[in-house]
Structure formats: structure tokens, C-alpha cells
Amino acid sequence: MASRVILYGPLSGARLLASTCRTIPKMRNQPSSDMAAFKEVFKSARHVVALTGAGISAESGVPTFRGAGGLWRKYNAQDLATPSAFLANPSLVWEFYHYRRDLVLQKSPNLAHQALAKAEDCFEKEGKRFLVITQNIDELHQAAGTKNLLELHGTLFKTRCTKCGDVAVNKDNPITPALGGRGAPEPNAPDAAIPVGELPRCKKCSGLLRPHVVWFGESLEPDVLTKATAELDKCDLCLVIGTSSVVYPAAMFAPEVSARGVPVAEFNLETTAGTENFGFHFDGPCGTTLPLALDI
């Protein structure tokens, strides 16, 4: 896995920016849905990496902001998750993220989150390795008890100063008084137009804070990407859970693992752009299929 796409965003010609021009192999398999066969593979695995996306948290009531549900007010949610949107209107972007923080704080991990945490515990007791690499920023994996976790896209509950770069944990709700009662998602809700001086500020230098998340067009943190690559290079089983397999760089992880002969099992409501590369595919809610597959 020497080559790596590091810009975060949906697959398109503009997104295929890599250190070398490498094409992900298209295996065009017909994945198996044989649960008994998968359980045998899982039982013999010693280093499992689970890749999770928005679909796993959707079952906890967290919006995916994709497809028909991709709007917040009248705005395309993906258009707000950009550096240029924050530069142009930090008040609006902070309203959007306040809405997301407030909503997630009211949600709980579901059976799929819990199954992954329990699997990690079981593997640890047997001297084996189980790690979750998530594209989600909601911290529901931590709430379920997962300890071995890499957050590719950051978290809603950390901030980063745009002036001094300080990163800090912050679960205050609201994060600043001016955002209290703001962030309503309805199309007719007025924008708050909060003065920049009343938006979240750095405790060290008073600079403007931003959410410590990876926005579209930004690079993933190099150390996180390096750790993810190392885990994927060593794993002997990869689980793909609730992810659409269209957002890079995560979309290329599992196909590359599969290309080196490692079993990959996908758990999703439907087939995805990556399904044909995988050995197993299980249709249905992750909260139903995953606990069954992992015998949790």
C-alpha cells in the first residue's frame, strides 16, 4: 500500500490524486453471503480491521447527509464542510456543527457498535488484534467501549485554533453561548449571523476555533493515515461496515486489502461500488447482521 490518496472527498477525476498513478484492481467477484463460511474465517483470524462509515451510525439516528437526506436547511451539507465555506461564513458553518454536536450527544451506540467493542474485548483476551478505522466523527464507537480506534476524519468534539493550531477536547453544549438554541435544520430557519467575536474562541490565544474534522478538499492527518495503512497491511481479515465506498481515501482501503488475497466482508443495506472486490457481502441493517456474524 505504498501509494495513497490523501485528499478527502467523493470519487471523481479530480480526486484521483496520488503519489503514484496506481489503479485499484477490479476483481468482479460474486461475493458470498454464506454466514457459516464467514464465521469460520472470522474464528481463524488473528488481526482484524473493521472499516466503518455513516451507515453504522444511521441506525442510531445520526443523519448521513447523503442522497435525499443531504440537506441542512436549504444547504447541501457537503458544501458546508469545506474550508472555503468556513472562511466565507464561519457563523453558518458553526451553526451546522452545533446542530450535529447537539444531535449526537442525544444518541446512543447501537448493536453494531456494541458488537465491535465486544469483539475487540474477546480478541484482546486471546492475544489477538482487533481495530476499528472509522470515517465517522460522532464518537459512538468510544461510547460503545471501543478502545483500538483510528478516526480518519476527526471528531465533532475537538476544536482546532485557526491562529495557533491548538487542538482541544470540547463537549460543552452549546460550545459558546451565542450558539444556544441555534442550528435548527428546517428549510425556513433563519441564519443566526453570529458576530465572529461571539463564535468559539481559543483559550490560549483567543483565535477563532474551527471543528477538528477533515473537510472536503483537505488532507487527512499524515500520522493517522500512516497508522491506518500499517494496520491494513498486517490484517488477515477486513470488515467493511456501513460505508458507501465512494469517499476517498477510505474507498480504496478494502479493495487493496482484497487484492493481496485477504478476505473482506461487507455489511451494508445494499451493494456498493466496492462490493465486487469482496469475498463476502451481507445485506441488511448492520445492527442485525454484524452481531450474528461475530457471534456477539
pLDDT digits (tens, 9 = 90+) for 5-35: 455 666 443 333 333 334 455 555 799 999 9
Query: In residues, how long is the chain?
Result: 296
- Type of residue numbered 173: N
**Close Cβ partners of 251 (under 8 Å, ≥ 6 residues apart):** 11, 243, 245, 273, 274
Catalytically active residues, by annotation: 153
More confident residue, 286 or 68: 286
Give the largest CA-CA distance in the chain.
59
| CATH 3.30.1600.10 describes domain 63-106+154-213 | yes
User: How many alpha carbons lie under 13 Å from residue 8 in its C-beta half-sphere?
Assistant: 19
**132: its cell numbers:** 476499528
Counting DSSP H helices and E strands in the chain, the numbers are: 10, 13
pLDDT of 126 > 80? The answer is yes
Confidence at residue 50, expressed as pLDDT on a 0 to 100 scale: 99
The mean pLDDT value for 25-52 works out to 91
Domain segments of the chain: what residues?
32-62+109-153+220-295, 63-106+154-213
pLDDT of amino acid 128: 99
Q: What angle do CA 221, 215, 106 make, to 5 degrees?
A: 100
On the question of pLDDT at 270 being above 50, the answer is yes
Q: Looking at residue 234, what is its pLDDT?
A: 98
205 is in an annotated binding site: yes
Of all residues in the chain, what percent carry a pLDDT higher than 70?
90
Res 222 pLDDT > 90: yes
Model confidence at 217: pLDDT above 60: yes
Question: What digits encode the pLDDT tens for the residues 132-185?
Answer: 999 999 999 999 999 999 999 999 999 999 999 999 999 999 999 999 999 999
At 26 the pLDDT is 56
* pLDDT recorded at residue 66: 77
**pLDDT given for residue 68 in this prediction:** 62
> Which strand (E) or helix (H) includes residue 120?
helix 111-125
Cα-Cα-Cα-Cα dihedral sign, residues 55, 57, 58, 63: negative
Q: Is 21 known as a binding-site position?
A: no
Q: How would you class 117 by CB atoms within 10 Å of its CB: exposed for 0-12, middle for 13-18, buried for 19 or more?
A: buried
Please answer whether residues 50 and 239 qualify as being in contact, where contact means their C-beta atoms are separated by less than 8 angstroms: yes
Q: For residue 72, which of 96, 98, 89, 93 has the smallest C-alpha distance?
A: 96
Domain 32-62+109-153+220-295: assigned CATH number? 3.40.50.1220
Angle at 131 between CA 129 and CA 137, to 5 degrees: 170
Give residue 245's pLDDT. 84
Q: Is 164 annotated as a binding residue?
A: yes
Q: Are 286 and 55 in contact (CB under 8 A)?
A: yes
**pLDDT for res 14:** 34
User: What pLDDT is stored for residue 249 in this prediction?
Assistant: 87
Mean pLDDT of 193-213: 99
Q: Please state, in angstroms and rounded to a whole number, the distance separating the CA atoms of residues 239 and 265.
A: 5
Phi/psi at 36 (5° precision): -65, -40
* Range scoring the smallest mean pLDDT among 22-36, 44-58, 234-248: 22-36
pLDDT over 90 percentage in the chain: 85
Q: Is the peptide bond before 83 cis (omega within 30 degrees of 0)?
A: no
